[in-house]
A and B are shown apart, each in its own frame.
Chain A
Amino acid sequence: MLAATQLAIASAWAVYAAGALLVIGGAAGVVLGRNPVHCALSLVTTIFGIALLFIDQGADFLAAVQIIVYAGAIVILFLFVIMLLGVDRKEARSHEGPRSLLPVGVVAGIVVVVELLVLVRVHYWATGSKAVTEAANGPGENIQKLGQSIFTGYLLPFEATSALLVIAVVAAVVLVRRSAQGAEAHPQRRSAVTGRLTPPAAQGPAMAVPAVVPAGAATEHAVERDGEAR
């Protein structure tokens, strides 16, 4: 009897340790990795660790969603962008030099961790009031309780998320659409700086006018982009 209890406690700690190892190791890989592809794969490791800890705490549905949405969609999206843009070469070691702010960033991160640990230590989370939603622990399937809670108490926010997703999809299409197609469809193109319409006659190959940034300096990138768009 006593041995069984000890075994249960030991196994609980083992699960926690495995999850913590995955989470911290993956996070370190994301921060320290030089190759963005390796960083994305480390992010998957962290996400699996988080999902393990979710299951350990009884949030079965959220663990499944975590793996499906994060590892299955978000990280794949990251990898698509990495492959698409060819940015998987190593990051330039731009931290060298007199203006390196690396120590400042590390110190700020340590301050954040210490603050959070102090918050954990002074535990006044429990207000004593009853749960406004259902009880998380106890009998019943986790997914059933979560579904009832979302579709009754949080129905309006749930509907709002559908609008949010539609807006995000439209925004992504608008952002990524090549401006060259718009230029061909409409001969009159709006100048990005002034907002005025430029006449079609002025838009030849010779019209590689550099865009003027607010400071007044011409940027060479706009010229390159105009040339490549034709």
Chain B
Amino acid sequence: MTVPGAWYLVLAACLFGIGAVGLLVRRNILIMYMCIELMLNAVNLTFVTFSRMLNDLGGQDAVFFVLVVAAAEVVVGLGIIVAIYRRRSGATADDISALKG
């Protein structure tokens, strides 16, 4: 446990950035969702790293709740995706523009 915490933070920042780029450039809704999961994981890593650096268990508690909320979010999000794909097969994020105005 000698690796300084800053290294973990840098890794988490890179993971968050990769997830953000993927969310912005991909068109497939499912893969955009996976990129959101990447960003959530980056934040979880940051929480655990701070929990170790500051010697506070609150960070790990936060990760616990983030996991629960992520599971609920995935259930609802995939339900929406299934509903969308059922109406129009092969839809990408660009095709869902009925509210464009």
Interface residues, chain A, with chain B CB atoms under 8 Å away: 8-9, 12-13, 15-16, 19-20, 23-24, 27-28, 30-31, 33, 36, 39-40, 43, 46-47, 50, 53-54, 56-59, 61-62, 65-66, 69-70, 73-74, 77-78, 81-82, 84-87, 91-92, 94-95, 101-102, 104-106, 108-110, 112-113, 116-117, 119-120, 123, 125-126, 131-138, 142, 145-146, 149-150, 153-154, 157, 161, 164-165, 167-169, 171-172, 175-176, 213-214, 219, 221, 225
B residues sitting closer than 8 Å to A (CB atoms) are 1-3, 6-22, 24-28, 30-31, 33-35, 37-38, 41, 44-45, 48-61, 63-65, 67-76, 78-83, 85-90, 92, 94, 98
Q: Are A30 and B60 in contact (CB under 8 A)?
A: no
Residues from chain A with Cβ under 8 Å of B26 in the complex: 31, 91
Question: Nearest 5 pairs between A and B by C-beta?
Answer: A109-B21, A105-B24, A113-B17, A116-B13, A31-B22
Which of B20, B45, B59, B78 is within 8 Å of A53, CB to CB? Answer: B45
Q: Chain B: interface secondary structure?
A: helix
Query: Please, which residues of chain A bring their CB within 8 A of the CB of B27?
Result: 91-92, 94-95
Could you tell me the distance in whole angstroms from the C-beta of A39 to the nearest C-beta in chain B?
Answer: 5
CB contacts (< 8 Å) of B41 on chain A: these are 46-47, 50, 70
Assembly CA distance A62 to B43 (angstroms)? 14
A87 touches B35 (CB 8 A): no
Chain A residues whose C-beta falls within 8 Å of the C-beta of B83 in the assembled complex: 175-176
Residues A13 and B3 in contact in the complex (CB < 8 Å), given A50-B41, A77-B75, A81-B81: yes
